[in-house]
Structure 1
């Protein structure tokens, strides 16, 4: 059996609008959240690597105990994220973890939902616009091709669609051109996003030419492989060398999305962890982390960095083409970190795509969620 480390994965102002009303957490709501978080914390003890706790402590200024508390609340938020949107349906306007990770907030357009939300341990927030309406406005914008408009995302806390462009005037013009109700959207200035090409953590080389990073170990039936960024290679391209085992891109999507999977030899060893550069992080599942949750990424260019999830369903207009459904983070990255893993706790989140800024001054990084790759190609995540 080839023991090459085939797949040692790389980790590669206001709370609401003027019409929004944050409802203070009733004591019952806080008690319910405390009880759920205590159960989640008990599950985490002994199952979280010391490196993760150290990194969270450094990133967020937490003690070891506070880091566990944060992870516990984030785990509860992840569970609620699977239940609450369907429960509220059209009135749902988003769920996020408060900055201090002491509350889980859920926005709704219907005050009648408050009792149900409090019973789940959430703090309800009354807003004007449902998430479906905000995302529909973004879809209208996707139909346009305006140079200098770099993308858009829904800011859950402000209950608005944020349109990013080279300047605010251009973003405002795009909102008008798309026929979007100005009450639904706001204009923002941003830097042009770039793909993170060239090389990465646990690197692999494609066609003896360029380097990218392994995402997560997967299987398609009995065929082993790994997921990575779609812009790293096209179907049929060969992984010829590097720290990952040789293989072939079986499927790849870019632009529109940024996902791919590479099949490797059946004798290769699949690792169920993420390279932290000071240890490894076990991968247990692919549960989606809520907005506001901590998240970490690793790559050979910049090492291991953490931050928070800022938004889901981001459209990013790269020079090479637009991609949709990305997740936005404030984790820094640089060229060479492309394709690597994003992970929260022990939950796989996705693969590094691109962004702007750097790890000296900070920046914004987008990743392709792992879920669509698993479901589109019948892949199974390799877990502990």
Structure 2
């Protein structure tokens, strides 16, 4: 059971009424994130701007602690019910001093002692996901799951009002018996799906994230640019490149122009990601931008409570709060693991969009629920590692 042991007020907080003129003016993505945060929690705009502005600082603290604490790291999240404060979970009380050191002079942090490390939760999740994927193959309605960081537990989601197969029921019983109080059983209303479509964000070069891309009758969206020793690539969702192998982009001045063919992709148990080799880099001049010119400087991991945005070729800018990490998702005909859920609204054609926060890349949009808002994305860390490429910075 999690126990709150310390509140580390390591830097003075700015009230919503205080002057925020010393903060840099928010860009379009940050404005969209602020607007969504204000709507979600009913806070003043100035307070929303302050919270979004400090996300990079919070992420840097988490990344440092993830490495420093190792097996003692129990995860981290941003608690917007508690002023947007960063919460860091540790498996032993003595580790609080490491949290204090990492957060010194930065955002306020609470340290929470938990029973299970993040690596333990991830191992438990992997074991459950394998059984879910096997059971879902012959099922009309799939089981899903996620790591619930703030509860130091796993959540197993059953399709609401739907009948489970015998094998699915065996998985539920196995999970309850194996994980005990580390498991929360819940339900979901709407099935998930990938978000390609047939059908316009068009720009002249340079090639960047957030543009409409076409392969045959399929429209998706470009994600971040990447490179290796042999050339440059456009990233997008793997399910898009299963539908088509050659991709082109509508430009403002030159009509439709070919980008290239799929160089590598995956759409299955280990995620949803792809790279398209840019055949004419002299023409396309790929840049680490998101439509129109928002630079992407680096990448980082996903944490519950963060606000992330995407620029999709159907819905444009939308933002939402990360709610689940290391999630197992059931799409028609296949189960995906290691995915991230957030509350952003998305629509068909947005698949492949780069998911980001400010100048930090977080992932590639994969899908969402059949009805209502919600976004599923592939973590950029896994996509880059699996594809063997590096993120092109803006």
CA distance in 2, matches of 1:245, 1:381: 22
2:281 is equivalent to residue 266 of structure 1: yes
CA 1:119–1:342: 2 relative to 1, 3 Å = same
**Pairs within 5 Å for 1:315-334:** 315-334=328-347
CA 1:241–1:85: 2 relative to 1, 3 Å = closer
**Residue in structure 2 matched with residue 344 of structure 1 by the alignment:** 357
2:216 is equivalent to residue 218 of structure 1: no
Report how far residue 114 of structure 1 moved.
Answer: 2.0
**Pairs within 5 Å for 1:18-97:** 19-25=1-7, 29-32=8-11, 45=24, 48-49=26-27, 51-61=28-38, 65-97=46-78
CA 1:79–1:176: 2 relative to 1, 3 Å = same
CA distance in 1, matches of 2:95, 2:259: 53
CA distance in 1, matches of 2:22, 2:128: 43
CA 1:133–1:380: 2 relative to 1, 3 Å = closer
3-state SS in 1 of match to 2:34? helix
2:195 is equivalent to residue 193 of structure 1: no
CA distance in 2, matches of 1:371, 1:196: 21
2:296 is equivalent to residue 296 of structure 1: no
**Residue in structure 1 matched with residue 90 of structure 2 by the alignment:** 108
**Residue in structure 2 matched with residue 364 of structure 1 by the alignment:** 374
CA deviations 1:26-50 (Å, max 9, x no partner) are: xxx2124869xxxxx999726x52x
Report how far residue 231 of structure 1 moved.
Answer: 0.6
Instruction: Name the TM-score, length of structure 1 as normaliser.
Output: 0.81
**Residue in structure 1 matched with residue 106 of structure 2 by the alignment:** none
CA distance in 2, matches of 1:372, 1:274: 20
CA distance in 2, matches of 1:53, 1:339: 20
**Residue in structure 2 matched with residue 209 of structure 1 by the alignment:** 217
Count of matched residue pairs: 349
Q: Please, which moves more after superposition, 210-219 or 128-137?
A: 128-137
Instruction: Name the TM-score, length of structure 2 as normaliser.
Output: 0.80
CA 1:83–1:42: 2 relative to 1, 3 Å = farther
**Residue in structure 1 matched with residue 17 of structure 2 by the alignment:** none
3-state SS in 2 of match to 1:55? helix
- Gaps spanning 5+ residues in structure 2: where? 15-19, 104-108, 202-210, 252-256
3-state SS in 2 of match to 1:187? strand
**Residue in structure 2 matched with residue 132 of structure 1 by the alignment:** 119
CA deviations 1:280-312 (Å, max 9, x no partner) are: 422121133432111111223222111111222
Q: Is the 8 A contact 2:302 2:325 kept in 1?
A: no
CA 1:247–1:114: 2 relative to 1, 3 Å = same
**How big is the alpha-carbon RMSD for the aligned residues of Structure 1 and Structure 2?**
2.8
In the alignment, which of 348, 361, 367 is matched to residue 354 of structure 1? 367
Report how far residue 219 of structure 1 moved.
Answer: 2.2
**Residue in structure 1 matched with residue 150 of structure 2 by the alignment:** 157
Q: Is the 8 A contact 1:291 1:310 kept in 2?
A: yes
Report how far residue 22 of structure 1 moved.
Answer: 1.7
Report how far residue 353 of structure 1 moved.
Answer: 0.5
Q: Is the 8 A contact 2:304 2:324 kept in 1?
A: yes
2:391 is equivalent to residue 381 of structure 1: yes
